[in-house]
Structure 1
C-alpha cells in the first residue's frame, strides 16, 4: 500500500522485543493453567497483569459465576472458573476493536507435559506456546506499538483474556457477547497454521451429557426386576452415531460413557457424553431436534428415564458478509509485510464463533504460527512472534488512521 511508510517506524520498533517476548513465552508456558487448575490460572493472571501494565489501560479482574457439569455418577455438580482479565482504553474513540484470546490450556495439573524446550533454532515446544500464550504476547506487542504511534487516538480497544475457552467459554460467553456489541471489528489470537494460513469458516459446536437412570437389581436373583441404564446408554450411543451423515456435514462424536459397577448388579446409572459439530444454523436446529427425539425414545423404554444436559456453546461462523470483507482487507495489509494471507475452513471452533454470533465481524487466527496443539508436540515458530505482532499492529494503526472500511463501522454503540 502506498502509505505503508508512515506506519513502518512503529512496526520496526517491535524488532528488538523478540528476545524478551521469547523469554516471557517460555516462562508463561511453564505455568500450568489448565482450565480446571484455578490456582494455576491465578498464577498465570499474576504473570500477565504486570506485563500489560505498560499499556496504561484500565484493568478489570472479573469473577465468573460457577457453571454446571454432570459427574460420572450422574449428579449435577458446580464447576469453578478462573477470572476474566479485561483491559480497555479510549472507549469514546471513533473506531473500536475487540481483541480476545484465552489463557487457559487443555493440560491438567497432573499432565506430564509441563516444560517448554527449544526443538531447533526456530521451534519452541511447550504447553500453550501456540494455543494461546503466544497469542497473548502478540496482543501485548501489537498494542505496545500502537500506543507509541500517532494513530492511537483514533482507535479504542478492549482486550479480553478468558480462563475457560478450552472448555467452551461457558462462563465468559455473556461478557464476550456484551463487549462484541460495542466494537466495530474483532481480532482473535488463536494460532495460525505453521505456514501462516488462517482459519476461515468454522463449525459450531455443542457438548452434551445424557443422564440415564434405570433400576438396580441383583444380576442373579432378580435380573428381570432390574432396568439397565448401561443397556439404555448403548441404545443412546447407537442412535447418536447413526445420525452421522444424515444431517448435512454435522458430526456426532461419542466421547465417553460413565456408569455401571459390579458385574453382579444391574446398573442403575449411566452418563453418555458427546460432541456435535455443525456447519450451519440449519444443521444445528436439525441436530437439536434429532437429539430430542432420541431422549424421548429413551424415556419411553420401560423403567428408564433420561435427561439431556448441555447445549451448543458455539454457533457456526460462516465466511460471508462483513467477516469475508475483513479477511480481504487484512489480506491486503499483509502484502505490506510480505505475508501471503490465506485461509481455509475448519471443523474447529473458538471465541470467534461467539463474536460472530453476537454480530461482530472478526478474524480469528492472528496469533503465532504453530501446530500440533492439544498434544505434547505443540509448537510455536519463534520467528512469528514479532511477525504476527506487526500484522496486528498494522491492522490497528490503519484503523486508527481512519482506513477501516466504512462497511465495518457501527451506526451507534
Structure 2
C-alpha cells in the first residue's frame, strides 16, 4: 500500500518565512569557531527553536582547540558547547542529524552583515554554511513529527561548535553517535546546482617547528644553525611527495621565521595540509613524513617538531551509502528535482561518520555558493524544496518494509 505524504510536504510551504527569519537571526550572531560566546548564543537560539520537537536536550562541554602559534608554542582556545537532542531512542530506525554552529568568520572579520543581492539571493556570514542548512534540517524533522509515521524513527541531533576547524573536539561525539544510529543526514550546503557530494577526500593538518641556533650573521655566522634554511629543505622534500602517489596532494600553506637580517634565525614555523583519496594513503603519508623529519633532525644543531595529524578519513561510498543516494535521487524526482552525487576534495563531518561505518549524505542543506568568502550567498527559494527533500526521505524510510540494508530488522507481527 502506498502512502500519501502530501499534507506534511505541503505544510513545509507555510514554513518558508520562518526558515528565512531564523537563518537571518542566526547569521547576525558572529559564531567564528574561536568565538565561544557567539557559538553558545547560536546554541541557545537553536535550543529555543527546537522546543516544539520535544527531544531531550544536553549541553556538552568539549575540549579546547589546540594550535601552534608563530613562536612554535602550542596554544589552547576554549570552544562553545556542543548541543545534543535525542528522541525515541527505542525506535527501530535511528537517524543522526548533524549541523555545525561555527563559521570561518572570526569576531573581528569585516564580513558580519546580511545583504539582499536580489529577491532570491541573500548574502551573509554562514547563510549557506551552515545556518540555512540548520533550518532546513529542523523543518524536515518537524514535518516528520507532525506526520503519523514518526514513531518508527528515533533521532538525535548534534549541533557541533568546531566543524570549520576540523571537528577535533566534537569527533568523539560523532563516533559515540555512530554506535547508536543506522544512518546520518548532515546539512552542509549542496553544490550551487543542488547536487550532492558523494565521495570525499580525507584530510590532515600539520604544523612543523624547527629550532636552530642564533648567531651574529657577520662575526659568527659559522656558529649559527639557520632554521629557515632547514625549513626550506623540509618543505622542498615535502612538496616533492606530490605526484608520487595517486590521489595524494600536499600543500605547504604557511611559513614564518627569522627577524633582523644580521641574526642567523633560530626559529621557523610552517603549516601544511594533506589530502588523500584512500584510507591506506594515510599510512604512506605518515611513513614519508617520518623519513623527512628524521633527515632534518639528523642535522647538527637542528631540532624539529611535527604537530597535528589526519582528522578526516576519506569518505568511500559503500553499497548502503549508494542506496541512500538512490533514495535521495528518487525523492528528488518525486519533487521535480534532478539530483546527482559527485566526488569532491572537500571534507566535513560526513567523513567522520563514514569512517565509523555509518552511511550518510552530508550536503542536504541549502543551495548557495562562494562559501568561506565575503561573497557567501544562499538561494532563499531553496529552503522549501530542500526541506521537502529531507522530509520525504524521512517519511519513506519510516514506511519502508525493507531496511535490512541499514541493519534494521523487520518488525514482527
Which TM-score tier does this pair reach, normalised by the shorter chain? over 0.9
* C-alpha contact 1:130 1:369 (8 A) present in aligned 2: yes
Partner of 1:3: 2
* C-alpha contact 2:331 2:393 (8 A) present in aligned 1: yes
After TM superposition, give the deviation of residue 309 of structure 1 in Å.
Answer: 0.7
Match of 1:394 among 370, 374, 392: 392
After TM superposition, give the deviation of residue 57 of structure 1 in Å.
Answer: 0.8
After TM superposition, give the deviation of residue 43 of structure 1 in Å.
Answer: 1.7
Instruction: Spell out, residue by residue over 1:128-174, the C-alpha distance to the aligned partner (whole angstroms, 9 max, x if none).
Output: 01100011111110111111110110000010010100000000001
After TM superposition, give the deviation of residue 319 of structure 1 in Å.
Answer: 2.4
TM-score by length of 2: 0.97
CA distance in 2 between partners of 1:255 and 1:40 (Å): 28
Partner of 2:33: 35
Match of 1:68 among 66, 69, 73: 66
Change (3 A) 1:142 1:54: same
Structure-to-structure mapping, 1:46-85, within 5 angstroms: 46-85=44-83
State the secondary structure of the residue aligned to 2:192: coil
Is residue 280 of structure 1 aligned with residue 253 of structure 2? no
Match of 1:103 among 96, 101, 109: 101
After TM superposition, give the deviation of residue 365 of structure 1 in Å.
Answer: 0.4
Q: Which runs of no fewer than 5 residues in structure 1 stay unpaired?
A: none
* C-alpha contact 1:154 1:402 (8 A) present in aligned 2: no
* C-alpha contact 1:181 1:360 (8 A) present in aligned 2: no
* C-alpha contact 1:249 1:278 (8 A) present in aligned 2: yes
Q: Which runs of no fewer than 5 residues in structure 2 stay unpaired?
A: none
CA distance in 2 between partners of 1:17 and 1:68 (Å): 40
State the secondary structure of the residue aligned to 2:15: helix
CA distance in 2 between partners of 1:337 and 1:266 (Å): 66
After TM superposition, give the deviation of residue 403 of structure 1 in Å.
Answer: 4.8
* C-alpha contact 1:135 1:368 (8 A) present in aligned 2: yes
After TM superposition, give the deviation of residue 251 of structure 1 in Å.
Answer: 0.7
CA distance in 2 between partners of 1:171 and 1:78 (Å): 12
Match of 2:380 among 370, 379, 382: 382
Match of 1:341 among 339, 342, 348: 339
Change (3 A) 1:306 1:336: same
* C-alpha contact 2:92 2:408 (8 A) present in aligned 1: no
Aligned length: 410
Match of 1:93 among 73, 91, 94: 91
**Bigger mean CA deviation after superposition, 204-213 or 21-30:** 21-30
State the secondary structure of the residue aligned to 1:218: coil
After TM superposition, give the deviation of residue 233 of structure 1 in Å.
Answer: 0.9
Partner of 1:353: 351
Is residue 235 of structure 1 aligned with residue 237 of structure 2? no
* C-alpha contact 2:136 2:384 (8 A) present in aligned 1: yes
Instruction: Spell out, residue by residue over 1:19-62, the C-alpha distance to the aligned partner (whole angstroms, 9 max, x if none).
Output: 11111111211111000111211221122111111111100010
After TM superposition, give the deviation of residue 3 of structure 1 in Å.
Answer: 3.0
Partner of 2:292: 294
State the secondary structure of the residue aligned to 1:392: helix
After TM superposition, give the deviation of residue 282 of structure 1 in Å.
Answer: 2.0
Instruction: Spell out, residue by residue over 1:167-202, the C-alpha distance to the aligned partner (whole angstroms, 9 max, x if none).
Output: 000000011011012111110100001211110100
User: Superposition RMSD on alpha carbons, in Å?
Assistant: 1.4
State the secondary structure of the residue aligned to 2:128: coil
Instruction: Spell out, residue by residue over 1:199-219, the C-alpha distance to the aligned partner (whole angstroms, 9 max, x if none).
Output: 010000000001111111121
After TM superposition, give the deviation of residue 410 of structure 1 in Å.
Answer: 4.8
Match of 1:317 among 315, 318, 323: 315
Structure-to-structure mapping, 1:110-189, within 5 angstroms: 110-189=108-187
* C-alpha contact 2:318 2:359 (8 A) present in aligned 1: no
Change (3 A) 1:335 1:403: farther
* C-alpha contact 2:62 2:80 (8 A) present in aligned 1: yes
* C-alpha contact 2:403 2:409 (8 A) present in aligned 1: no
* C-alpha contact 1:99 1:186 (8 A) present in aligned 2: yes
Instruction: Spell out, residue by residue over 1:103-134, the C-alpha distance to the aligned partner (whole angstroms, 9 max, x if none).
Output: 10001111111111111111111110110001
After TM superposition, give the deviation of residue 67 of structure 1 in Å.
Answer: 3.6
State the secondary structure of the residue aligned to 1:14: helix
